[in-house]
Amino acid sequence: MAFGINREELTRWKKAVSAGEIAFLTHYWLDPRFPGMTTVTKVGCSDLTRLTHWCEENGLPAKYIHNRSPFPHFDLLGPKQAEILRKEGLWEQLERFKML
């Protein structure tokens, strides 16, 4: 279950993903398979080659890309999520979702 984002943010993410950009969308998220995790960042890109390369550059296993047309994405969780958001300079997402 996702919450903590608005339609405008989701629309902006979908537009960027569809354009082949690497796009980040963080939201609150609860899933019993991942106890203690309260947020997820979806790193999306419709260009699977580009998304695969991005995963490899960041030490992430590309085999976990969710190849879901039209919005393929990789789910970032836990410490790696905050690390990459810092690396990408996405301070608003870090502050808003209390990952600082």
Higher pLDDT, 29 or 2: 29
pLDDT in tens, 14-62: 999 999 999 999 999 988 999 999 999 999 999 999 999 999 999 999 9
- 63 pLDDT more than 60: yes
- The answer to whether the beta carbons of residues 41 and 54 sit under 8 Å apart is no
Average pLDDT, the chain: 95
66: helix, strand or coil: strand
- 2 pLDDT more than 80: no
Quickly state the pLDDT bin for 1 (edges 50, 70, 90).
low
Instruction: Classify each residue of 1-28 as buried b or exposed e, where b means 16 or more C-beta atoms within 10 Å of its C-beta.
Output: eeeeeeeeeeeebbebbeeeebbbbbbe
75: helix, strand or coil: strand
Residues 75, 21: Cα–Cα separation, whole Å: 16
